[in-house]
Structure 1
Amino acid sequence: MDLTLIWKTVLIGVVEGLTEFLPVSSTGHIILAEELLHFQGPPGKVFEIVIQLGSILAVCFLYRRKIWDTVAGVLKREQPAMRFAAAIVVAFLPAAVVGVVAHKYIKSVLFNPMIVAIALIVGGVAILLIERFAQRPRIKTVDDVDLKTAFLIGLCQCLAMVPGVSRAGATIMGARVFRVDRAAAAEFSFFLAIPTMIGATVYDLYKNWSTLNWDGGAMIALGFVAAFISAAIVVGAFVRFISRHGFAVFAWYRIAVGGIALVFLLMR
């Protein structure tokens, strides 16, 4: 790999890791970044799948104690663990069903920079409105999320299939609408991301199996490491930040990036 390709690969991995769990759309940022950098990954879908896996594993690592305690609790049939696990499963189901049904359409029609730019702007405005009018939280921790609220959050997650909407943004803001505390909304979104992203990764592998190859293994490994490290750094800082300052800064960031991207795309 030449030096230019190395820094582009690292940058794409960092973009994935930094944006996957923030309400700014990692898919949208990857599409825009690859467009701006003229980045071409290895043949097939391995690069995109592996850097996303790096972000997933970062969250699994950071929340390993909670994940282990939940698994152990479910095996022992402890009610708090079973209730939390059930909430995650219920929240996961809507996106799993819609993803399987609409996967081909989403990938072929919606994955373009113009849709990303518009979705970033619209999502930013939505965040500002939700932050302005959200009612006082009634759910303070992830363990308190009931099945009805979990299902409604899961329906919101389906919106994130439009690139630029943001899976984290849709689930966190959806949780805020249903009166979940900011930090709890973010953490529930992180846990929900684990089965959702693993499911999407497995389904992508299945659908693209015939085109997959590991050419460019060094690029793939570099992107994975960059995504893992950047995601591990940003997740904890994000929860602390939004607990104190809310989500408005991310809304304005989305509007700015979407606006700049829109102008750039219209001027080409």
Structure 2
Amino acid sequence: MAKSMTGFGRGEYSEDNYSFTVDVRSVNHRYSDFSIRLPKSLLALEDKVREFASSQINRGKVDIYIKYDSFGQDVDIKIDTNLTKSYINCLKTIKDEFNINEDISLTLLTRFSDIFKVDKIEKEEEEIWNILRVALEKAFNALNNMKEREGQRLDEDIKLKLKDIREIVDNIEAKADNLAGEYLYKLRERIMELTQNIALDENRLMTEIAIIADKSSIDEEIVRLRSHIVEFEKTLESQSAIGRKLDFIVQEMNREANTIGSKATDIDIINNVVNLKTQIEKIREQIQNIE
């Protein structure tokens, strides 16, 4: 099934005082390209995030934004005893120097906040990753759902254009079949007119006419074009990434259309080839957005 390369998904998950919000945006790109924005405290997890994203996306430019909050964590408070002693000694010096009778109280000392060192007790990296992974899964599930919906719309539009292409090929084939006999007759008459006073080997003449007519035949191109249409439709039903293969098939369809156009002399066939190339180009533009 066709899947678009364009989409957006958001995932949120909280556990054990950790909260993650993940936004994922994907747009067209020839290859896979991931841009990951993580808080500095979580940079160690970037490789894990990239590996997870690679398992979800086959092609496209993907921007991943991760927001991280922690609250109510356990903390470890330590006292800088050397700094505290220095403050007390300084305060005593001030008392003695200026004859201040006020006592050095605990309340006064706590105003010097730098004597306290507060450390948050962080979870292990693997534990944080397990929480983040849930948010990532939710975000990519939402992204892929949107890509599938858009892909379904592309699939329906492309199939309508393939139907038009089939009808155009039918018209070209019908016209070519009717023209074959006329072409041989006109070619023979023209040769006879130009060589009316020259004795010709009739068998050799007919052989040469047949060779020229065969070179101008578009039967093979029509057969290959129909084969490409069938292969295109089969590929659309595949569950894997199909964008690159579809792009190749469209190139081959366009090649056959160009060959038919170069061989055609009938104005109706030429007009049909123009319409054919127009529909093929429309499909080519659509599949640029297919993963």
TM score, norm. by length of structure 1: 0.26
Bigger helix fraction: 1
Which structure exhibits the higher relative contact order, with contacts defined as CA atoms closer than 8 Å and separated by 6 or more residues?
Answer: 1
Greater share of strand residues, 1 or 2? 2
Question: Bigger radius of gyration, 1 or 2?
Answer: 2
